[in-house]
Amino acid sequence: MAPSTDSKIEDMTDAVDVLDEPTDFPFRTERTAQDAVVSSLDARAELVETADRLVRVMASGSARPAAHAAAPQSSPSMQAGTQTGPRPTLVVRSPGGTMETRHTIDAPRFLVGRENCDLELDDRFVARWHIQLFQRDGALILQDLNSRNGVYLRIADDLALEDGDQIVVGDQRFEFRTSWDSPAQQNPTHQNQTQQNKADTDALGASWAGNPVRLIRYMEGDHIGGVYPLGQRMTIGGANADLCFPEDSILSSPHAVIHRDGDRYLLRDLESESGTFIRIADAVELIDGDCFLVGRTRIRLTFA
């Protein structure tokens, strides 16, 4: 702290005690080598990194951006103990959108789940301890706590899908696959009897023309509700789409599209009202306006 120019103000720097860490949660919270931004969101990581570099340059006074250039926005300061400036707030919309509440994040670590949490959600698809939000290097980080249903982040731009990616469109959950699953395990009582015949016999089944790229639709309880081969383009929506689910009141018409670009398949939201989401696999940094799904509860981050 720089010495005060006012002789009446006493410098109390050495008298301030450092706050202790909060009581540990019953799960891992420290940073590990595996914690990283999910690969599908690399573009967002580059955006935040660019913003951080810009802030450092402006602070040093060595350069200023052109007046017409729009600088990327990163999260406001989240340093522990800071009381000035905007405070991170979660805007929570209940399943079905019947109620919206606001909750300020006022702790270095903030736990969200069904019970015994900083934010408790009345949602049967939410785990007891589902996610945590915590501070790291002045940023706000979102991390799934190995919940069954995971956490999904709303996409803003075209997103390249990878084998095994899970997406939510409206109330529909899909898995994107580019490879075949392993054959189902045979009943052990018959395994030895037929093992000798497997080597020279193809398994009986329906023919599948072309590559195995497909969408798998999941129902509640992880039951498969449909398998849809992907060609050059497929739209999803409540109406006016290749895949229509008119019973889903959250879906726009159309809502999202998956289209092929060379060897890649890109997911794009079609300016839907409720958004399109992808499940994150690792810790990810949040920025102002980000929206994510916990169970069927939609949560938006804002700084107020």
Distance CA 177, CA 182 (A): 13
Contact 296, 95 (CB under 8 A): yes
How far is C-alpha 133 from the geometric centre of its chain's CA atoms?
A: 12
Return the pLDDT at 297. 97
| 3 state DSSP class of 174 | strand
Please count the CA atoms within 13 angstroms of the CA of 121 that sit on its side-chain side.
Answer: 27
Instruction: Enter the pTM of the model.
Output: 0.69
What is the rounded distance in angstroms from the CA atom of residue 79 to the CA atom of residue 281? 25
Q: Which domains does the chain have, with CATH numbers?
A: 86-150+280-303 (2.60.200.20), 154-179+211-279 (2.60.200)
Residues 6+ apart with CB under 8 A from 283: 35, 36, 37, 141, 142, 143
Backbone angles phi, psi at 28, to 5 degrees: -70, 130
Which tens digits make up the pLDDT trace of 20-72? 445 455 545 454 444 444 444 554 555 446 555 654 545 554 433 333 333 33
Which ranges of the chain have pLDDT less than 70?
Answer: 1-84, 183-199, 208-210
pLDDT at 77: 46
Q: Residue 232 is inside which H or E element, if any?
A: none
CA–CA distance, 279 with 150 (Å, rounded to integer): 7
SS3 for 120-139, per residue?
ECCCCCCCCCCEEEEEECCE
Residue 283, pLDDT score: 96
pLDDT at 131: 98
- Closest alpha carbon to 179 in 199, 162, 203, 158: 162
Query: Residue 224 forms beta bridges with which residues?
Result: 218
Q: List Cα–Cα distances, 98 to 94, 95, 199, in angstroms.
A: 6, 7, 58
